[in-house]
């Protein structure tokens, strides 16, 4: 089941031009990630986790090597095609939630479906389903400012999950949450991973997250140091 490949990465390098010269953030990465994985890229701050996730998410492009996501080479995508890939197949969860503050919980979760131009009744049903998975049904009409951090992150997960994407990329999703909330959202994501077969890829250095991973990819200085299946 976990063997059908969704993402394959070969000899990936990423350089940044900085005032101090060329900086190599990713220095030769080889990886494949399959369907329904619950995987984490783990490493200290500055090790290149976010850069890697951004490239997988087509928000950035490789400097060298090949990254293929769902059969599409990230380097070859133009901005419109990259947007289409994200819109149709990828979900993002951020450390700082990034909800749109003027919109209600319902509208925030509805937004990805508006981009997909789904019709009204279909959207409504999908949003309500997603809110139900996350236990947010009674918050549908609230604004982000009225919610706690844990609730905000659940809204962000609902927004990422609402279109049932193949892949969810979660960059430090627990960094702003207390232990109880962290465990709560992680359990929810494990659940969604089981039920919907969604692939989850985390970037994290949080032990609470690491405890839930089934595969742990350790990154140091832009290189994979270790890639292990854990016994979760």
Ligand X SMILES: Nc1ncnc2c1ncn2[C@@H]1O[C@H](COP(=O)(O)OP(=O)(O)O)[C@@H](O)[C@H]1O
The residues of the shown chain that bind Mg ion, judged by CB under 5 A, are 50
List 96, 146, 191, 232, residue binding another protein (CB under 8 A): 96
Binding part of the chain for another protein, among 50-58, 146-154, 181-189, 205-213 by CB under 8 A, reads: 50-58
Binding part of the chain for another protein, among 20-28, 52-60, 131-139, 222-230 by CB under 8 A, reads: 52-60
Nearest to 135 by CA among 185, 193, 195: 185
Binding part of the chain for ligand X, among 44-52, 133-141, 153-161, 187-195 by CB under 6 A, reads: 44-52
| Beta carbons within 8 Å of 39's beta carbon, 6+ residues apart | 33, 199, 200, 201, 202, 213, 214, 215, 216, 217
Minimum Å gap between C-beta 49 and Mg ion is 5
d(CA 219, CA 211): 17
Is residue 50 involved in binding another protein (CB under 8 A)? Answer: yes
Q: Which one, 126 or 203, has the nearer CB to ligand X? A: 203
d(CA 28, CA 86): 24
Residues forming beta bridges with residue 23, ordered by sequence position:
16
Strands 223-229 and 215-220: antiparallel
Is residue 54 involved in binding another protein (CB under 8 A)? Answer: yes
210: left (phi over 0), alpha (psi -120 to 50) or beta: alpha
Q: Crossing angle for the helix pair 149-161 and 105-115, nearest 10 degrees?
A: 20
Q: Which one, 43 or 57, has the nearer CB to ligand X? A: 43
Number of residues counted as binding ligand X (CB under 6 A): 13
User: Rule CB under 8 A: which of 3-42 touch another protein?
Assistant: none
Binding residues for another protein, rule: CB under 8 A, are 50, 54, 57, 59-60, 79-80, 82-88, 90, 92, 94-96, 98-100, 102-103, 107, 111-112, 114-115, 159, 171
């Amino acid at each position: 089941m976990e063997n059908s490949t969704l993402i394959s990465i070969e000899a990936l390098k990423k350089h940044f031009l900085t005032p101090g010269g060329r900086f190599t953030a990713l220095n030769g990465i080889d990886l494949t990630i399959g369907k329904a994985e619950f995987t984490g890229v783990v490493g200290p701050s500055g090790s290149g986790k976010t850069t890697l996730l951004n490239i997988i998410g087509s928000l950035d492009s490789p400097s060298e090597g090949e990254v293929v996501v769902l059969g599409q080479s990230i380097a070859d995508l133009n901005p419109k095609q990259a947007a289409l890939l994200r819109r149709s197949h990828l979900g993002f969860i951020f450390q700082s939630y990034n909800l749109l503050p003027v919109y209600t919980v319902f509208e925030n979760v509805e937004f990805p479906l508006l981009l997909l131009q789904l019709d009204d009744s279909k959207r409504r049903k999908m949003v309500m389903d997603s809110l139900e998975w996350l236990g947010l049904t009674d918050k549908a009409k609230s604004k982000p400012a009225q919610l706690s951090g844990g609730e905000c992150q659940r809204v962000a997960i609902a927004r990422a999950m609402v279109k049932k994407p193949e892949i969810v990329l979660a960059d430090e999703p627990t960094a702003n949450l207390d232990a109880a909330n962290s465990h709560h959202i992680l359990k929810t994501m494990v659940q969604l991973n089981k039920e919907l077969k969604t692939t989850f890829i985390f970037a994290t250095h949080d032990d609470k997250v690491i405890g839930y991973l089934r595969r742990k990819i350790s990154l140091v200085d832009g290189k994979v140091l270790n890639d292990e299946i854990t016994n979760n």
